[in-house]
Each structure stands twice: as C-alpha cells, then as structure tokens.
Structure 1
Amino acid sequence: MYDKNKKGKYMIKIKNVFFKYENSEESNYVIEDLNFEVEEGEFVAVLGHNGSGKSTLAKLINGLIVPTSGEVTVDDMNTKKDEEIWNVRSRAGMVFQNPDNQLVATVVEEDVAFGPENLGVPTEEIQKRVDLSLEAVGMSDHRKSSPHMLSGGQKQRVAIAGILAMSPEYIILDEPTAMLDPIGRREVMDTIKKLNREQKKTIILITHYMDEAALSDRLVIMEAGKIILEGKPREVFSHVEKVKSIGLDVPQVTELAYELKMDGFDIDEKVLSVDELVGEICR
C-alpha cells in the first residue's frame, strides 16, 4: 500500500474490492482484490490499456457502480449505502471523456448552474459558484455563449466548471482529453494542474497519455484489474521494460535516456523532460 512521503490523510479508500458487471458474458472480475487510497490534495494519475479496469475504478469512487465485494469510502461514507450516495457524489465530482454528454443547457452559465440547482443550493450562492467556477477554468468571457459553439477543449473546461460549482473536494476525470486535439488537451491539463495547485483540489486522472501522467504526484498503472506499478512518475517510468511489456509506452525522453544507459553512457535514465535529458547529456 502506497504511503511514501505521506503528508495528509487518506480521504478516498478502496479496500479489498472485487467487481464484475452482472450482465457481462465474462465471468472474470474487472477489478480484483484492489486496495487503493488517495490522500487529500493529491494528484493521482491512473494508466492502463483498454480493459485494465481504470475507468471502472473511476466509477467505483463516484458511486456510479458499487463493489461486488469489498468497500469504497469517500470521507468515511460508504458508496453501498443509498442514504449516503448523493453526499458521496457531491464530494467526488466526475468528468467524463465526452464533454457533450455533460452539457445540458443552451447557455454556458446556465449549464454550470445546473448541478448546484439540483442540489438545492440557494440562488444567490449558485451565482457566486458559477462566477468562481468559470473564472477557475478561464471561461468567464464565454458565460453567455452556447456550449455547442465552443471548441472541444472549451467544452471540457465548461464541464469541469459544472462539477466545480457543486463544490467537490475530489475531482475524478475519466480520460477527459481523449477526444481533444493537442490545443484542447493542453487547455484542459493546464486547468487540472491549476485546480490542484491553487485550489488544492484532489485530482484522480484516468488517462492513456504518458505526458499527462508524468504531471501527477503519484502514478498508478493497472493491468487486469490490479495495480502492478505505483509511485512517483519518474520512478514508475524508470521500469521501462515492465511498462512496455504490458503494451504501454514511457515518455520519449525517458526511453531515449534508457537506451543511452543500455549503450554504456553514464546517464540517469529517470528523466521526464527534454531539459532534464539535456542536462544529463551535458553532464
């Protein structure tokens, strides 16, 4: 269980969790005996190829599905308890891959207000939350725009604002950049980093992009419903052969440093950026 350099409290806890979809023809568990905890204020990235269980993990934390066995708790609230599920979802907001699936109104500010309205938040408080949420994602200038006229990256930022307006402590993002172009990806990742660093939001990012995972505090790699590697990104990506053996890549600069090391160069292969690699080569 991960506890290296632990600074705060574990607020999301997954204990001995097994899960399989009831209507699936597959008899195997999608998640198998998973133990996983997330610290308050942490930025955790989860990597894995299709079928590894990473998206199922996101749904378990948000309470969209419940464990076949084992427990998932958010701030000590059990996702299996019907009377606590809405409190769980207000604490752990979920952002999906396709922003169009989360946009429900014809005006941006109305879309952002939708969530808190359904929570029964007073009108004056809703307006404050909408203002703060749009400012946080850099979309205040588009508050009167139609969401469907925005770019992909802008739509996803509005979707994130809609989650922020419900004042969650934890934001779970299930491959939020998968459908975006490079500009949109950068916009969304800048927003995620800002929320984590400036607002101290706990982030759980499900992704298949190595460069996004490298930005996290902690990286988890899943395979067949289990965690097979876990730690700081530079430590996890240093296991080049193991990562590649399950069909994933490592950042290009990390792989280049690894190849140079294998060729006999005295170089630290635990690099994540071009600048770090240049520094090692110059040294």
Structure 2
Amino acid sequence: MEDKMIECNGVIYRYASSDKDDGKLALNGVNLQVNKGEFLVILGRNGSGKSTIAKHMNALLVPYDGKVYVDKLDTSDERNIWDIRNKAGMVFQNPDNQIVATIVEEDVAFGPENLGVEPTEIKQRVDESLKSVNMQDYRRHAPHLLSGGQKQRVAIAGVLAMRPECIIFDESTAMLDPSGRKEVISSIKELNGKHGITIVLITHYMEEAVEADRIIVMDEGKIIMEGNPKSVFPNVSKMQKIGLDVPQMTELAYELKNSGIDIRKDILTIDEMVDELCRLK
C-alpha cells in the first residue's frame, strides 16, 4: 500500500455568492489521493475546480463538506495549519506575488526565518535551494530585474528552503514565455526525480503533463478521467469536448488513425512519432 501524502474524501466546496443558497459549486464530491513521491498533474479548463482543489491541499481553503488530509493531518483543524503548510508548500501563478525581499538570497531565507530556523541552517538551506533550481549565480541580484522564469525559480527556491515534502504548483507557468516554462518544468522534474519531493502540478499546458506519473482531468468540479498520460491523452474527442487540447503528437496520431493509417494511439512525443512512422515504412 503506497503512502499517501494528500487525501481528499468527498470534498465539496462552494464559492460564496450574494444569494446565500446560490453559491457556485466549485468542487462536487472530489475523491483524490496523492501518493508520496508522485508527480501528479491536474488538468481542466478555467472553472473546472482544479485551482480550488489545489488551495485545499495546503489549507488555504477548507471543505464545506468532506475531508482533506495532508500527511494524515486534517486541514479543517486549525491547530494543524502550521504543520500542513510546512509539509505542503505552494507556488502560485504570479511570482511577483510571492517575492518579498529586494535581494534573491534574502527572499529565499524569508520562509525559514519565519519558522525560527537557526541562522547557520538558514544559510545552508538557501544555498541548497538556489542550487536545486540553478539560481545560485543570482543570489545577490534584485528579483525585480530577473526574467519571469527566473523569478518563478526564486519563488520555488523560497518554498524549498522551508523543506516541504510536497509542492503544489498552481498554474505556476501560466504567465511565462516558452523558455521560462521550460526552465520551471525542468526544475520541477528534478525536484521530483532527484529529491523525491511529491509534486502536484495544476496546468493547462498539455506538453507539461506528458512527464507526469498520473493525470487527473477535472470538469465542473468533478474528476472525469484519471490515469497515466498514455491512457488519458488518447481520449482525444472526450478531451476536446470539455475544451482541452492534447499533446500535438497525440492529436496527429488521432488524425492519422482516423484517415486509415494503422498507427498507435498513445503517442505523446515527437521521438515516439518518428519511431512509429519509421516502423510503418
């Protein structure tokens, strides 16, 4: 039995509205487990509930009904909040909202300082965290002069310095250009692969989801598909129906198959497509 990092049981959440009974149901009975060490991607169009479930994972929101546990700690018990936020760090969409200091290394030190960590230990954590995201050469720089991707990596280093077991990325690449996205995704993959940190990535970029161990697709506050990338993405018409793309190569394979070419449906990358076309020759 795999060890669970996060467990959501029958989670219901409603955003308040002016009419008391008419708040929009953002989560409608979500059951979800995230295993320790897993790289999980949650996909869904705007309003599907994916960011709302992310905010439940470090107790920024608590369920109207149902339960969320982070490493067995109940998020609705206020006494657990401090421990939960130390276990599950969060990186948001806009890095500017997460950067608080005028020098990179001071920004990364901010979290552990608030936790009351010893100064020598803080220095070590800052060094290690900046190295983990390849930003050690920028430690004396002013964050506001960095590129979007660099700022986001500093924000990740700030979360890392608090030594979380799990990091939730809530559309953390949405405001970045393609090269910034690439930088951040390679940092995320390294944190998961090398350091064993549990990753939950909320995104609407399908190419980012190809790397996941498991994908969850949400629509209208519910989970409608779940599985590894090779089992989820071939459902092209179902994905399109709920307003989501699939990786370009999966879509190409789908079109080729529909036009009568005997090709595998579960192709995700250019390399896989090249191999498959060579096999067909």
TM-score by length of 2: 0.97
Partner secondary structure for residue 93 of structure 1: strand
Separation in 2 of the partners of 1:12 and 1:19?
A: 17
1:180-217 CA distances to partner (integer Å, 9 max, x unpaired)?
Answer: 11111110001000000000110000000000011111
Separation in 2 of the partners of 1:132 and 1:10?
A: 26
2:172 aligned residue: 176
Q: Residues 144-163 of structure 1 correspond to what in structure 2 (within 5 A)? A: 144-163=140-159
Separation in 1 of the partners of 2:5 and 2:110?
A: 27
Partner secondary structure for residue 245 of structure 2: coil
2:4 aligned residue: 10
1:206 aligned residue: 202
Which of 264, 277, 281 is residue 281 of structure 1 equivalent to?
A: 277
1:3 aligned residue: none
Q: Percent identity?
A: 57
Alignment pair present for 1:140 and 2:139: no
1:96 aligned residue: 92
Q: CA deviation at 1:279?
A: 1.3
Q: CA deviation at 1:22?
A: 2.6
Alignment pair present for 1:166 and 2:155: no
Q: CA deviation at 1:23?
A: 4.0
Separation in 2 of the partners of 1:129 and 1:261?
A: 51
* Aligned amino acid, residue 121 of structure 2: E
Separation in 1 of the partners of 2:210 and 2:162?
A: 28
Provide the alpha-carbon RMSD of the alignment. 1.0
Q: Which runs of 5+ in 1 are unaligned?
A: 1-5
Query: Given that residues 17 and 23 in structure 2 are in contact (C-alpha distance below 8 angstroms), is that contact kept between their aligned partners in structure 1?
Result: no
1:241 aligned residue: 237
Which of 179, 191, 194 is residue 190 of structure 2 equivalent to?
A: 194
In the alignment of these two chains, the number of paired residues is: 277
Q: CA deviation at 1:238?
A: 0.7
Separation in 1 of the partners of 2:251 and 2:101?
A: 45
Partner secondary structure for residue 68 of structure 2: strand
Partner secondary structure for residue 226 of structure 2: strand
Separation in 2 of the partners of 1:105 and 1:151?
A: 16
Q: Which runs of 5+ in 2 are unaligned?
A: none
Query: Given that residues 16 and 24 in structure 2 are in contact (C-alpha distance below 8 angstroms), is that contact kept between their aligned partners in structure 1?
Result: no
Alignment pair present for 1:62 and 2:58: yes
Q: Residues 5-84 of structure 1 correspond to what in structure 2 (within 5 A)? A: 8-23=2-17, 26-84=22-80
Separation in 1 of the partners of 2:243 and 2:44?
A: 9
Separation in 2 of the partners of 1:108 and 1:89?
A: 22
1:209-264 CA distances to partner (integer Å, 9 max, x unpaired)?
Answer: 00001111111110001000110011100101100110111111101101111111
TM-score by length of 1: 0.96
Q: CA deviation at 1:124?
A: 1.1
Partner secondary structure for residue 62 of structure 1: coil
Q: CA deviation at 1:24?
A: 6.0
